[in-house]
Amino acid sequence: MSRPTLDRVVFCRHGETESNLGGWLAGSRDVSLTDRGRAQAHAAAAALTAQGSPVAAIYSSPQRRALETAGIIGAALGLPVAVVPGLEERRWGDLEGGAVPGDLLREEVPGGESLAAFQARVTAALSGLPIPADGQSPLIVAHAGTWHALCRWMGVDPDTLWPPNATPVTLTRGP
C-alpha cells in the first residue's frame, strides 16, 4: 500500500530580507527579515486568520528568514512550527552574495547545488511530511526556489518565478 500524498498545501515565501531589498542572491546564506519583512509576516498571519485559519500545521525551512516568518504566523494562529530539513533554498555556491542571475532554473551553478539535486532534496523533504488527518492543509514556509520544487512535486505549473514575500498561496495537486 502506497503512502498517501498531500493534495493541498498553503505555501508562504518568507518575508522581505536585506538580500531581497538589495537585489543579491542569498541562497544558503542565513539572512534575517527586515522590519518590512516582519510586517509582511504579520499581514500573512492576519490573512490566514481572516480565512478561518485554514491550516492544521506549519512546516518551515530551517533558514532564519523562513523560521522567523513561520514563527510570527504560528504565534498568531496558535500553532507550533516544525522545522523541516531539506526545505532550504538552493545552494548557489559561487553566485551567492552577487546579483540575482537571470536564469534561476539553470541546471548547474559553479560550486553550488544542481537543479536536479535541489529538486530531489526538496521532494524528499515534502514526501516525508505528515498529512493532517482533519482535511486541512499544512502551511509550508520556505523560499522562492522551494516554491518551484513544490509546484513541480505537486504537478502544478507555477504562474510566477518569484512568489511574493509573505503572501499565502494555496496549491492543489495537479492531475
Q: Is 93 annotated as a binding residue?
A: no
84 grid coordinates: 523541516
Q: Is 89 a catalytic residue?
A: yes
Q: Is 172 annotated as a binding residue?
A: no
The order of strands in the sheet holding 8-13 is 81-83, 55-60, 137-142, 8-13, 169-172
Residues forming a β-bridge with 97: none
Q: How far apart are CA 22 and CA 158, in angstroms?
A: 25
Q: Is 17 annotated as a binding residue?
A: yes
DSSP state, residue 63: S
Q: Is 14 a catalytic residue?
A: yes
Q: Is 20 annotated as a binding residue?
A: yes
Q: Give me the residue label for grid cell 537585489.
A: 23
Q: Is 61 annotated as a binding residue?
A: no
Q: Is 15 annotated as a binding residue?
A: yes
| Active-site position among 42, 68, 88, 89 | 89
Would you please indicate which residues are annotated as catalytic (active-site) residues? 14, 89
Annotated binding site for substrate: 13-20, 65
Binding residues: 13-20, 65
